[in-house]
């Protein structure tokens, strides 16, 4: 076995020098001595690929290290580890697969790439016997990948509940705390740099859903298909919904839920959800992320921190570089994803069950509630409570009804919502969200 006290230089090629890439370059240099003392590895970035050689950078990179062709990184015989931070799924897939075939260890933070094409890439990694490390793909600086792969390896994962998109959490926080409309909160998030100029991937729920697919696949040993995941965004959440939820003792969060039923079928969903105000996840505010993992041995564990940003995400990338260094020095335990046959099937999303919050804008006339309950009852759906908060109503011929729904299958709720939307007494599209009890 190599002597851990003997420094070993690990030469790294970095593809992408955007926000996270610049952080990796800066922080590897900043904490090189600390990393060397802790790991015995001298991390050295020797080549950097960028799209535009003339673009001003936040970090100074020697011109001799720069290239505008990522293939040059992989062709460099001295480069042992390739870091993919270019984003997207097409060119990034070509980069990662080319690196694996060239026997270069890969580090990536590309959640969309892994969610959409991870099965192919991990199969190739296994074929080439070269690992992929991807801690930065989920929850920024929170080391949740390592937790699932190593810390909780002895546990059957009962469930994972996560707030794993900081943009949406910031928007919902500002709506709840400052009374901002969705559009005003989104604009504020963009002004502060928490949301992109085109925020679609975040606010549609798909950024969080990509992360949920990765977590679910690691937890249950088979690759979850995107078409088996239920995804809703936050763009239809209003301040009225948040205020009604507060009166009922809940907060509203974009929540990703992953769990297996007693038949081993795995449910994965991301959507606006009512959480009990007393639960710790309901108090996670701003751009922070938090993940609750429930294991059959360890019980409930909580992981909290910044889910995005240059330094938190680069911390996870550098952690993976240290893992890559350990692999080069001591050998790898696995190539990044370990399949097994204990689960292996997604639960049809329409079969998933939950309580629901339902808000309707209806004509303020007798008989309306009867029509609503008939539409729900025809699908076997029961109502646990009905609220008509008069002090939040406008002076018009319509009124709001807020109903809390007993456990119902998603497919039945969809059918009932379609029927209710067609009622002549219903003036706006029904707003409905899942209610998470956080009991498992």
Confidence at residue 309, expressed as pLDDT on a 0 to 100 scale: 87
211 counts as catalytic = yes
Could you give the CA distance from residue 120 to residue 128 in angstroms, rounded to a whole number? 12
Confidence at residue 391, expressed as pLDDT on a 0 to 100 scale: 55
Q: Does the domain formed by 144-308 have CATH 3.30.360.10?
A: yes
Per-residue pLDDT of the chain (440 residues; tens, 9 = 90+): 344 456 799 999 999 999 999 999 999 999 999 999 999 999 999 999 999 998 988 899 999 999 999 999 999 999 999 999 999 999 999 999 999 999 999 999 999 999 999 999 999 999 999 999 999 999 999 999 999 999 999 999 999 999 999 999 999 999 999 999 999 999 999 999 889 899 999 999 999 999 999 999 999 999 999 999 999 999 999 999 999 999 999 999 999 999 999 899 999 999 999 999 999 999 999 999 999 999 999 999 999 999 888 999 999 999 999 999 999 998 877 788 888 878 879 999 999 999 999 999 999 899 999 999 999 999 999 999 998 876 555 556 788 899 999 999 999 999 999 999 999 999 999 999 999 988 65
Confidence at residue 5, expressed as pLDDT on a 0 to 100 scale: 54
Quick one: 153 exposed, middle or buried, by C-beta within 10 A (0-12, 13-18, 19+)? exposed
**Out of 47, 104, 111, 211, which one is annotated catalytic?**
211
CATH class for the region spanning 352-435: alpha beta
Confidence at residue 351, expressed as pLDDT on a 0 to 100 scale: 96
Tokens of 16: 């992408």
Please check whether residue 14 is in contact with residue 47, taking contact to mean a CB–CB distance below 8 angstroms. Answer: yes
What predicted TM-score, i.e. pTM, was given to this entire model? 0.92
Please check whether residue 271 is in contact with residue 231, taking contact to mean a CB–CB distance below 8 angstroms. Answer: yes
CA 325 to chain centre: 27
Please check whether residue 359 is in contact with residue 432, taking contact to mean a CB–CB distance below 8 angstroms. Answer: yes
Render the burial of 384-402: b for 16+ CB within 10 Å, e for the rest.
Answer: eeeeeeeeeeeeeebbbbb
- Residue boundaries of the structural domains of the chain: 8-140+310-330, 144-308, 352-435
Please check whether residue 265 is in contact with residue 258, taking contact to mean a CB–CB distance below 8 angstroms. Answer: no
Q: What is the side-by-side order of every strand in the sheet holding 66-67?
A: 66-67, 41-49, 8-15, 81-84, 105-108, 132-133
Residue 376 backbone phi and psi in degrees, to 5 = -70, -45
Could you give the CA distance from residue 239 to residue 227 in angstroms, rounded to a whole number? 31
Place of tokens 């692999």: 327
Q: What string of H, E and C letters represents the secondary structure of the chain?
A: CCCCCCCEEEEEEEECCCHHHHHHHHHHHHCHHHHHHHHCEEEEEEEEECCCCCCCCCCCCCHHHEECCHHHHHHCCCCCEEEECCCCCHHHHHHHHHHHHCCCEEEECCHHHHHHHHHHHHHHHHHHCCCEECHHHCCCCCCHHHHHHHHCCCCCEEEEEEECCHHHHHHHHHHHHHCCCHHHHHHHHHHCCCCCCCCHHHHCCHHHHHHHHHHHHHHHCCCCCHHHCEECCCCCCCHHHHHHHHHCCEEEEEEEEEEECCCCEEEEEEEEEEEECCCHHHHCCCCEEEEEEEECCCEEEEEEEECCCHHHHHHHHHHHHHHHHHHHHHCCCCCCCCCCCCCCEECCHHHCEEEEEEEEEEECCCCHHHHHHHHHHCCCCCEEEEECCHHHCCCCCEEEEEEEEEEEEHHHHHHHHHHHHCCCCECCCCEEEEECCCCC
Quick one: 127 exposed, middle or buried, by C-beta within 10 A (0-12, 13-18, 19+)? exposed
Confidence at residue 343, expressed as pLDDT on a 0 to 100 scale: 83
Confidence at residue 58, expressed as pLDDT on a 0 to 100 scale: 84
Could you give the CA distance from residue 56 to residue 46 in angstroms, rounded to a whole number? 20
Task: Could you please state the CATH topology (level 3) that the domain comprising 8-140+310-330 is classified under.
Answer: Rossmann fold (3.40.50)
Confidence at residue 6, expressed as pLDDT on a 0 to 100 scale: 63
């Amino acid at each position: 076995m190599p002597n851990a006290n003997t420094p070993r230089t690990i030469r790294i090629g970095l593809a992408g020098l955007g926000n996270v890439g610049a952080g990796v370059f800066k922080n590897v240099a900043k904490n090189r001595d600390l990393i060397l003392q802790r790991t015995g590895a001298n991390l050295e970035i020797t080549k950097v690929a960028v799209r535009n050689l003339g673009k001003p950078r936040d970090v100074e990179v020697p011109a001799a290290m720069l290239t505008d062709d990522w293939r040059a990184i992989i062709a460099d015989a001295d480069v042992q580890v390739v870091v993919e931070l270019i984003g997207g799924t097409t060119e990034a897939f070509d980069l990662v697969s080319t690196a694996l075939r060239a026997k270069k260890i890969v580090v990536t933070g590309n959640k969309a790439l892994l969610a959409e094409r991870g099965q192919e890439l991990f199969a190739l990694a296994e074929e080439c016997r070269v690992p992929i490390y991807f801690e930065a793909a989920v929850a920024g600086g929170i080391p949740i990948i390592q937790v699932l792969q190593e810390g909780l390896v002895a546990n059957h994962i009962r469930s994972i509940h996560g707030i794993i998109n900081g943009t949406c959490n910031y928007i919902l926080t500002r709506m709840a705390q400052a009374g901002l409309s969705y559009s005003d909160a989104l604009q504020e998030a963009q002004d502060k740099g928490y949301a992109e100029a085109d925020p679609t991937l975040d606010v549609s729920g798909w950024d969080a859903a990509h992360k949920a697919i990765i977590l679910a696949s690691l937890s249950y040993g088979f690759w979850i298909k995107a078409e088996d995941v239920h995804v809703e965004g936050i763009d239809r959440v209003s301040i009225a919904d948040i205020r009604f939820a507060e009166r009922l003792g809940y907060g509203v969060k974009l929540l990703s839920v992953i769990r297996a039923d007693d038949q081993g079928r795995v449910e994965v969903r991301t959507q606006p959800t009512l959480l009990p105000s007393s639960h710790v996840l309901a108090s996670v505010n701003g751009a922070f992320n938090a993940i609750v993992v429930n294991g059959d041995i360890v019980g409930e564990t909580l992981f909290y921190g910044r889910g995005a940003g240059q330094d938190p995400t680069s911390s996870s990338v550098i952690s993976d570089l240290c893992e890559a260094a350990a692999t080069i020095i001591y050998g790898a335990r696995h190539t990044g994803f370990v399949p097994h046959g204990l689960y292996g099937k997604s639960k049809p999303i329409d079969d998933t069950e939950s309580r629901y919050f339902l808000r309707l804008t209806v004509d303020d006339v007798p008989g309306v509630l009867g029509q609503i309950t008939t539409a729900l009852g025809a699908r076997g759906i029961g109502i646990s409570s009905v609220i008509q908060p008069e002090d939040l109503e406008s002076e018009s011929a319509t009124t709001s009804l807020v109903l809390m729904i007993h456990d119902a299958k998603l497919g039945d709720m969809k059918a009932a919502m379609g029927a209710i939307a067609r009622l002549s007494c219903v003036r706006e599209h029904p707003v409905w969200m899942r209610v998470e009890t956080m009991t498992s």
